[in-house]
Amino acid sequence: MIDTKIFNDTKHAFVLKSDKDLKRSLFLFSMMNIPYFVPVSTAATNVALKLKLPIEPLVKATIFKQFCGGVSQDDCMPLVKKMRKENVYSVLDYSVEGKESEAEFDRAASDKIEIIKYAGGAEEIPFAVAKPTGLGRFEIWEKVTANDKLTDKEQEEWDNIKVRFESVCKAAYDNDTRLLIDAEESWMQDAADNLIEDMMRKYNKEKPIIFNTLQCYRWDRLSYVKGLHERAQKEGFKLGFKTVRGAYMEKENARAKRKGYPTPICEDKEATDVNFNAVMCYCIDNVDDISQFIGTHNEVSTYMALQLMNQKELHLSDDRIWFAQLYGMSDHISFNLGRVNANAIKLVPFGPIKDVIPYLIRRAQENSSVQGQTGRELALLREEKDRRDGSYVKRVE
């Protein structure tokens, strides 16, 4: 039986943080906990970028260091190796966004393949990640999802997207590296779901290599999983899912209201939690067919999964079930799971500082908007600082 207080151990949670790191994290989460600080600082950052002000040193010393592993893969490796010594794995995510040209998408596919090859040669990095709109324009995914007629040029773009998608998935298969495909807005997701299913059918014959992402604030995701599971059983391929709560709630609800269709999003946070837990438990109940990458910062859901694994007599290190958190957040979950030999993993973003600023802004916004998230982080950081200031000798940085 798993100890119900497993996530309260701050000594193990912050084992990799120097006193200086701890103070920086305390400062950042304290700032993010102040009402209006994140929107005001976001606006100021955007203005500074437009004016080409030299803000990169400030970003690097604060929010970049908190939420990113480095500017390149090699730059991330010292951190990756340190975490692996604490039994926490890594996923490297090249978090550069906003590309639009075919040449940029070709380069993105090539870069993604290189990252997959890099992961294939590193025991510490069992997964890679890809974003559908990193391989082709959002508008093309949207039109295919809506079954709108494509122009000749758009059809050429869609054909190119499929070629890029296939090349990235084949690279994952060839390098025996599991590939997590991100989910995006609902009005482009059907095209992605269908293409990912084709890739699962092709490359997941023996074991899951291609993983789709389930945003469980969408109320239809459990029925989607059950339908795909039925098809997979009939056709003889395995399923892999990255299960998350979701990232586009306000945008989804606003678009549904504007265009006059029923929102695809659960009615509130509680309904989303219920849906997430139902999807997560369905996948664990069917672990012989479905592998799962559980992406959550929620302690209750994590503990629920641990309990269900215990009931089904699944070892915590069962390679079909992984527990993931973003780098810079919820270390009390990641490192304490690693301590009990569960499959703990951190998603570690990297990229040139200026290029990853949109990602960093989103992280700050999510921390400030998720009820209780920043407060919980702050409480644990303060507890660890008190622990170090009181009973333990200061560690050397």
pLDDT tier at 98, thresholds 50, 70, 90:
low
Q: Which of 235, 223, 249, 245 is nearest to 294 (CA)?
A: 245
Whether pLDDT at 370 is above 70:
no
Q: Are residues 256 and 197 in the same domain?
A: yes
Mean model confidence pLDDT for the chain: 91
Q: Are residues 138 and 279 in the same domain?
A: yes
Residue 78 within a domain: yes
Residue 340 within a domain: yes
Q: Are residues 124 and 243 in the same domain?
A: yes
Q: Are residues 92 and 146 in the same domain?
A: no
Residue 230 within a domain: yes
Q: Among 161-175, 194-208, 210-224, 347-361, where is mean pLDDT lowest?
A: 347-361
pLDDT tier at 372, thresholds 50, 70, 90:
low
pLDDT tier at 357, thresholds 50, 70, 90:
confident
Q: Are residues 135 and 275 in the same domain?
A: yes
Q: Are residues 93 and 203 in the same domain?
A: no
Any long-range contacts for 26-31 (C-beta under 8 Å, 24+ apart)? 26/378, 26/381, 26/382, 26/385, 27/62, 28/62, 28/63, 28/66, 29/367, 29/374, 29/377, 29/378, 29/381, 30/378
Q: Are residues 146 and 256 in the same domain?
A: yes
Q: Are residues 201 and 276 in the same domain?
A: yes
Residue 309 within a domain: no
Residue 397 within a domain: no
Whether pLDDT at 40 is above 90:
no
Residue 142 within a domain: yes
Percent of the chain with pLDDT over 90: 76
Q: Are residues 203 and 256 in the same domain?
A: yes
- When divided into structural domains, the chain yields a total of 2
Q: CATH number of the domain that 179 lies in?
A: 3.20.20.220
Residue 107 within a domain: no
Residue 312 within a domain: no
Q: Among 124-133, 214-223, 353-362, 383-392, where is mean pLDDT lowest?
A: 353-362
The reply to whether the predicted model has a pTM over 0.95 is no
Q: Are residues 228 and 122 in the same domain?
A: yes
pLDDT (0 to 100) of residue 257: 95
Q: Among 147-156, 161-170, 345-354, where is mean pLDDT lowest?
A: 345-354
Q: Are residues 126 and 89 in the same domain?
A: no
Residue 356 belongs to domain spanning: 1-98+321-392
Q: Are residues 352 and 258 in the same domain?
A: no
**How do residues 297-309 score in pLDDT, each as one tens digit?**
999 999 999 999 9
pLDDT (0 to 100) of residue 391: 53
CB atoms within 10 A of CB 285: 12
Whether pLDDT at 152 is above 60:
yes
Q: Among 72-86, 90-104, 187-201, 333-347, where is mean pLDDT lowest?
A: 90-104
